[in-house]
Structure 1
Amino acid sequence: MAHVPPPFIPGAFVGAAHHYRVRVYFEDTDLSGIVYHANYLRYMERARSDMLRLAGIDQRAAMEAGEGAWAVTDLAIKYLRPAKLDDDLLVVSTVEAVRGASVVIAQRILRSHHTLSDEMLTDGRATAAFLSPAGRPRRQPAGWASRFTAIMNGESIPC
């Protein structure tokens, strides 16, 4: 009998927040077993991409149609505690602001203790602007702003 891999399990919305789990692997760490600082940004990017996918925002289709693409235009991150090899992490993303051509997403990375309290490791904010193929800011495709607003308000996402 052939082995069938389990289905891919993406992140999920919990109210107004998107939750995305990450495991720290050896490749993520430096010689001391602590996560290299740039990898927190990778975890946050994966979580934002997953959040958009679950919200029905098809970035690839927009790029292929020549509409444009998202680009991070502002990023702030505060490192509070280090993540370590084999840690279970939770990236929590929330939409803070929606504008015609941009969105601000707050993200926290927590070490999951599988208890009532998780330990916050990083606190960050990313502003992403929708850019035309020529690299100039342009309005988000129709419907995307309303999806972001619904997420921000903890509402069900319009289809």
Structure 2
Amino acid sequence: MANIAAIHELIEPIVREQGFDLVRVKMINTEVGPTLQVMAEDPATGQMLIDQCTTLSRAISEMLDEEDPIEEEYSLEVSSPGIDRPLTRAKDYALWAGHKVKIGLTEPMDGRKKFQGTLLGLETADGGEAVRVKLEDGSGEDVLLPMNRIDSAKLVLTDELLAATQPQQMN
């Protein structure tokens, strides 16, 4: 299996050199086999255009061919994180506060691993960073989820999120 942390370290300088921020590096299994998924964004817009993805894909592909960090055959996918994006970095939790989110933990907390609600932001708790979420389960309770226990997190597509991600119209 590929060492994703090592691959991330190889890819990040290339992404930064192209003027983008690296959002996620992940190996996923698809119908056609393993795929190395690289998500990046333009820090000014939070998105990437198709030609930007193409240019970045070529640069990453050249490095991967040279370094050969993945033993098995795989496909490379370079994309924008999209509107209902994964939240992978501490700054994502602060930036997207106020929006709906789904979070899965690596191990249960209070008897559950999945949480859905409104993202309230990032805090420091018990010596580490934690994400505060106002639950949608009818309790209205706020929970504090330690970042080091988050397995997956993504925004939920809503009208408010769509409005927040639309380019501003010039008058």
User: What's the TM-score, normalizing by structure 1?
Assistant: 0.25
Q: Which has the higher contact order (CA 8 A, sep 6+)?
A: 1
In terms of fraction of residues, the more helix-rich structure is: 2
Report the structure number with the largest CA radius of gyration. Answer: 2
User: What's the TM-score, normalizing by structure 2?
Assistant: 0.24
